[in-house]
Amino acid sequence: DVKVTQSSRYLVKRTGEKVFLECVQDMDHENMFWYRQDPGLGLRLIYFSYDVKMKEKGDIPEGYSVSREKKERFSLILESASTNQTSMYLCASSPGQGRQPQHFGDGTRLSIL
Amino acid sequence: AQTVTQSQPEMSVQEAETVTLSCTYDTSESDYYLFWYKQPPSRQMILVIRQEAYKQQNATENRFSVNFQKAAKSFSLKISDSQLGDAAMYFCAYKGNQGGKLIFGQGTELSVKP
C-alpha cells in the first residue's frame, strides 16, 4: 500500500517564523503535490513537482516555496509565516500521468499565531 | 482553465437510504479523468471511485456508482444503502490527460442519520 507521511499532524508557529512542512512517500512516485484546504474552498494547489529538483507553481504559490532534493521527499516552506497561512496542508503523490489517482497524507493542521 | 463545482455544501441521508452528490466541471479537453475522494474526520483523503472520460460506461465500486454525463459535464456520485461510516466530506476532482494535477471542487459534507 502507498504510504504518504507528513511530519506533523499539528503545528503551532509564530508570525514571521520560517516553517518547514515535510512529506515523504514510499512508492517511488514521480509526482508530488502540496495543497492547502480551507472550508468552502476545497483543496487548492500550492506547488507541485514532476521530478527531483523540479518544481512548478500551482494556483496559490505566494508566500510559499518548495524543495525536492530526493525523489521521495517534498518539502513545503513558509518563508515568513503569516496568520493568513493558518490552514490544513495536505501532501499527495502519484505515479505519473493518466488514470492513476493521487495518494494523500494525513494532513498537517498549521496555526500561525 | 478547468473548474470543478460542487453546489451542495451539505447533504444528509438516512441510514440504508440512497443519496446523490452533484458535481459539474468545465473543460475544453476531450480526454480527462474524474475522481471522487472521501475525507472522513480522521482527515486522510481516500479514493472512492474514478471515471475515464473516454469510457461511456459509468464506474461502479460496490455501493458507490457515478452518473457520468460527458455532454453535460456532470459527474454525480450515488451512494446506495448508506452507512454511518459514509459520513465524511466528499470531493469531486478533475485531471487532464497531460500532467498529474488535480482540480478539486469545494466539497460536500455528508451526514448519515441512524
Reduce the DSSP state of residue B84 to 3 states and report it: helix
| pLDDT tens for each residue of B20-39 | 999 999 999 888 999 999 99
CB proximity A27 to B under 8 Å:
no
φ, ψ of residue A58 to 5 degrees: the values are -95, -145
Closest-CA residue of chain A to B49: A101
| pLDDT tens for each residue of A6-26 | 999 999 999 999 999 999 999
Percent of chain B with pLDDT over 70: 99
Number of residue pairs across A and B with CB atoms under 8 Å? 60
- The minimal CB distance from A40 to the residues B50, B100, B106 is found for B106
* Under-50 pLDDT residues of chain A: none
The rounded Cα B59 to chain-centroid distance in angstroms is 11
CB proximity A47 to B under 8 Å:
no
Across the interface, whether the CB atoms of B44 and A97 are under 8 A apart is answered no
